[in-house]
Amino acid sequence: MTSRLRIHEALPSTSDLVIRLAEAGEPDGTAVLARRQTAGRGTQGRVWEGPSGNLHLSVLLRPSEPLRLAPQWGFLAAVALADALGPLLPDPAALALKWPNDVMLGGAKAAGILAETGTGSNGVIAWLCLGIGVNLAHAPQVPGRETACLAGFGVAPPAPEHFAADLLAAIDRRRAQRQAEGFAAIRDAWLARGPSVGAHLAIRRRGGDIAGRFAGLAEDGSLLLATGERIQALASGEVA
C-alpha cells in the first residue's frame, strides 16, 4: 500500500469522506486525516468527540477478497495500532486489545476502529474503510466508559500527522505479513495483547447479554466464549 495522506483542518467525519472517495474510484492506500472532527462515529452508533491534538484518520483499502473476510481487517488495524503505540509508552504492558476493535491503556479506552465495507457485484469487497480514532493528547468523556490518552501516561503526544505516518507504515507491515503468512499470524499478534484465556467476559449483544470465559479467537476472528460445557463463537457484540 502506497499511502496518499490528505490532511484537513476540520471535517465532520474522515470516514464519510473516504467512503465518498472510494465510490468515486480513489485507489487503495488513500488516507484522510482531520486535525479536528466534528461528527465522528464509533461502534454501536456512538458519537466520538474529535478535539485537536488527537488522531482522526480513515484509510481506504481495496483487498478484492470475499466479503466474509472483511472482519479480519479490523483485527489487522488493531494490531498495527498497538505496533505504533507500544514504542511510545514507558510501560508497553499498559496497552491491551479489547475485542473486537478497541485499544486500551491502563484498562481505559484510548483508541477505537470502525471498519466499513462496500460490496461489488461479484460478492467481493469493493472497498474497505478503516476509521481510526486515537486519544493522543486528550481523553474525551464517553458516557459509561473510562477513557485514557497518551498524555495521561506521561507521554509527550506526537503530532497527529506524525503518528499517522507511523500507523500507516505499521498497517503496511501487517498487511504484508497477512499476505505472506495468512490471518493466523495477525490473530496470534492480537491474542498476545488480548485477554488471558480463561478471563471472565460479559458480552453485550442485540440478542441478549451473555457471560463466560475467554477461549480464544476463531479462524475468522469470532470471539470464542466458554459458557458451561459449551464454547460459543460470537461474530458480533461488545465486551462490557
Residues 3-49: pLDDT tens digits? 689 999 999 999 999 999 999 999 999 999 999 998 876 655 556 66
- Model-wide pTM > 0.95: no
Judge if the upstream peptide bond of residue 140 is cis by omega within 30 degrees of 0: no
Domain ranges in the chain are: 4-193, 200-239
Please answer whether residues 196 and 213 qualify as being in contact, where contact means their C-beta atoms are separated by less than 8 angstroms: no
Kindly state the DSSP code that residue 155 receives in the 8-state scheme: -
**What is the pLDDT at residue 40?**
74
Q: What percent of the chain has a predicted confidence (pLDDT) above 90?
A: 72
| Domain 4-193 top-level CATH class | alpha beta
Is the pLDDT assigned to residue 86 strictly greater than 90? yes
Instruction: Give the model's pLDDT for residue 88.
Output: 96
Instruction: Give the separation between CA 19 and CA 164, rounded to whole angstroms.
Output: 19
Q: What pLDDT is attached to residue 121? A: 80
Is the pLDDT score of 2 beyond 60? Answer: no
200-239 CATH: 2.30.30
The whole-angstrom separation of Cα 155 and Cα 85 is: 11
pLDDT in tens, 140-155: 887 778 999 999 998 9
Q: Which residues contact residue 48 at a Cβ distance below 8 angstroms, ignoring those fewer than 6 apart?
A: 37, 40, 41, 42, 112, 133, 140, 142
pLDDT value of position 35: 96
Residue 19's pLDDT is what? 97
Bigger pLDDT: 240 or 230?
A: 230
- What's the count of helices (H) and strands (E) in the chain, helices before strands? 4, 13
Residue 26's SS3 state is: coil
